Amino acid sequence: MLWQKETPGANVVIRGARVLDPAEGVDARLDVRIDDGTIVAVAEQVDANEHRVIEAEGLVLAPAFVDPHVHLRTPGREDEETVASGTAAAAAGGYCAILAMPNTEPVVDSAATLGSLVETARREAEVPVGFLAAISRGQQGEELTEMAELTDAGAVAFSDDGVPVASAGLMRRALQYASITGRPLALHCEEPTLSRGGHVHEGRVAAELGFAGYPSVAESVAVERDLSLAGYERGRVHVLHLSAAESVEALARARAAGVEASGEATPHHLVLTDDAVRSLDPNVKMNPPLRAERDRVALLEAVRDGTIEAIATDHAPHAAQEKDVPFEAAPFGVTGLETAFGALYTHLVRPGLLPLATLLERMSGGPARIFGLERPRVAAGARANLVLLDLEREWRVGERPFRSRSGNSWLLGARLGGDVRMTLAGGAVVFE
């Protein structure tokens, strides 16, 4: 289900790092030895033999990250991102696996299109990448895609992300049919008749600045609808980029009632509120929009308590000339792969709002579990999917060039504390 270009497995010893793998119950100063891409020993002292030794005193070694929500813009907008550049950005961000959304040009709605992407990934992907296929043909919301064939061709899940499945009837049919594939539906929940024309969360900031509002209820009524349908059809759903407190409450209720539902939150929704829009910077324009402080607090609480199991960047590259326009003319979306850990470590872990172990779990094990991927772990016998983190390093976003082809980061110019030193993905060193 995941594809990566052929890369030799690493032979390295990582010495003296604080090994932190919450799911394995490990938090200790240990050495890790990797033979040909596979972890063979995690112990107080390992033999280096001929291996390259990485002195990691003072660094944290953790399972590498999994991003279930990335836009690679390929096919169609290779000027904004390619499989090569997007996966290179992922490697720099500490990711060992990413999932790409199908809202490309053309849409990934046939086995042929998916097949050609898989071929590209086998040639170019720096880190293992998986692909979602569309729920409806052309994401038009009218006819279902051939989900069984797409699953055989390697689709990890199905999504019309970018646009909602507006018809409740089609959503029901999608839930019914997807059940034979065993793959979840990843849902962009938005009621278009409530959000239409909106650029900014409907609240004080939009009212004062004069922006057309995109209210929280535009998301939460769609979340409620889809969770009701999922419960009725016993389907598996994953709610993408949650932004509103009411949506989080709906997800918690559905999960408590036994619906197989999961959710994700993005770094920008966890760190910023609509107050940031006062800057009129098009790099804080995204769909769903940044919301109020109470929404941000609700998201954070849900990440903490596990109602939201995954943190996803919704990495959405855009060409400079399309973002360097007045706010209302700019497209929705920001990049995130290369800044996610630094942003969340700086703004959530350092101030004591989120334990480091929880952050690592939501960025790795959580999303892997939702999409049925092998969980990255620091344990003998596992493939090396590891990230080496420097929690002390202070850096400024933009000081080193982005590996992504696009620079529409909401953190441009910001100082962050905590950075990725090295990434191993699929057994290979992909970033250092």
Partner 1 sequence: MIRLVTDDLRPPGEPPKRHLLSVADLTRDDVERLLGTARTFAASLERHVKKLPTLKGHLVVNLFYESSTRTSSSFELAAKRLSADTLTVKSTGSSVDKGESLRDTALTLGAYDPDVIVIRHPQIGAPQLVARVTEAHVVNAGDGKQQHPTQALLDLYTLQQELGRLEGLHVAIVGDVLHSRVARSLLQAFALVGIRTTLVGPPALLPRELPAETTTDIAAIRDADVVYVLRMQNERMQPGANYVPSLREYTARWGITPERLRPGQRVMHPGPMNRGVEIDAAVADSPRSLVIDEVRSGLVVRMAVLYDVLTGGPVGVRALAAAEVA
Task: Kindly list the catalytic residues.
Answer: 314
Q: According to CB under 8 A, which residues from 99 to 158 bind partner 1?
A: none
Establish how many alpha carbons lie within 13 A of residue 313's alpha carbon, considering only the half-sphere containing its beta carbon.
Answer: 35
Residue 309 beta carbon to partner 1: minimum distance, rounded to whole angstroms? 23
Taking the complex as a whole, the smallest distance from the CB of residue 65 to partner 1 amounts, in Å, to 22
Candidate list 269, 347, 403, 421; residue touching partner 1; CB under 8 A: 347
Judged by CB under 8 A, does residue 325 bind partner 1?
A: yes
Give me the 383-402 binding string for partner 1, x by CB under 8 A, dash otherwise.
-------------x------
- Minimum distance from CB of 308 to partner 1 (Å)? 18
CA–CA–CA angle 428, 431, 432 (5° rounding): 115
In the range 327-346, which residues lie near partner 1 by CB under 8 A? 327-329
Which of 268/315 has CB closer to partner 1?
268
Does residue number 279 form part of the binding site for partner 1 (CB under 8 A)?
Answer: yes
Longest CA pairwise span in the chain (Å): 66
Residue closer to partner 1 (CB basis): 130 or 418: 418
Under 8 Å between Cβ of 274 and 205: yes
360 within 8 A of 20, measured Cβ to Cβ: yes
Q: Interface with partner 1 includes 293 (CB under 8 A)?
A: yes
What is the rounded CA–CA span in Å between residue 205 and residue 291?
Answer: 10
Which residue lies nearer to partner 1 by CB, 269 or 405?
A: 269
Residue 247 CB, nearest approach to partner 1 (Å): 20
Q: Which of residues 244-273 bind partner 1 (CB under 8 A)?
A: 271-273
Q: Does residue 301 interact with partner 1 by CB under 8 A? A: no
Q: How far is the CB of 340 from partner 1 (least distance, A)?
A: 15
Smallest gap from Cβ 275 to partner 1, in A, equals 7
Measured CA to CA, the distance from residue 135 to residue 151 in angstroms comes to 12
Q: Which is nearer to partner 1, 159 or 216 (CB)?
A: 216
Near partner 1 by CB under 8 A, which window of 3-11, 277-285, 359-367, 379-387?
A: 277-285
Q: What are the residues facing 55 on neighbouring strands?
A: 15
- Give the number of other CB atoms < 10 A from CB of residue 401: 7
Question: Does the footprint of partner 1 cover residue 352 (CB under 8 A)?
Answer: no
Residue from 217, 276, 357, 379 that binds partner 1 (CB under 8 A)?
Answer: 276
Please name which of 35, 94, 83 lies closest in space to residue 61, comparing C-alpha atoms.
94
State which residue, 180 or 212, has the beta carbon closest to partner 1. 212
- Is the CB of 9 or the CB of 417 nearer to partner 1? 417
410 binds partner 1 (CB under 8 A): yes
**Number of residues engaging partner 1 in binding (CB under 8 A):** 39
The count of residues in the chain is 432
Q: What are phi and psi of 293, to 5 degrees?
A: -60, -40
Smallest gap from Cβ 218 to partner 1, in A, equals 15
**Sign of CA pseudo-dihedral 177, 179, 180, 183:** positive
Task: Quote the CA–CA distance of 62 and 377 in Å, as a whole number.
Answer: 8
Q: Which of 27, 13, 44 is nearest to 422 (CA)?
A: 13
**Residue 62 or residue 271: which is nearer to partner 1 going by CB?**
271
Candidates 373, 381, 384; CA nearest to 9 is 384
362: nearest Cα among 419, 410, 316, 305: 305
Tell me if 376 contacts partner 1 by CB under 8 A.
no
Q: Which has the closest alpha carbon to 90: 124, 114, 56, 58?
A: 124
Q: List C-alpha distances in Å: 189 to 53, 195, 297, 393.
A: 47, 11, 20, 37
State yes or no: residue 415 binds partner 1 (CB under 8 A). Answer: yes
Candidates 106-114, 172-180, 359-367, 413-421: pick the segment binding partner 1 (CB under 8 A): 413-421
Residues 187-246 within binding reach of partner 1 (CB under 8 A): 196-197, 202-204, 206-213
Cβ closest to partner 1, residue 129 vs residue 206: 206
DSSP codes, 214-243: E-HHHHHHHHHHHHHHHHHHT-EEEE-S--
Min. distance of Cβ 285 from partner 1 in angstroms?
Answer: 10
**Distance of CA 260 to CAs 238, 256, 361, 431, Å?**
8, 10, 20, 36
Catalog residues that contact partner 1 under the rule CB under 8 A: 196-197, 202-204, 206-213, 271-273, 275-276, 278-281, 284, 293, 321, 324-329, 347, 396, 410-415
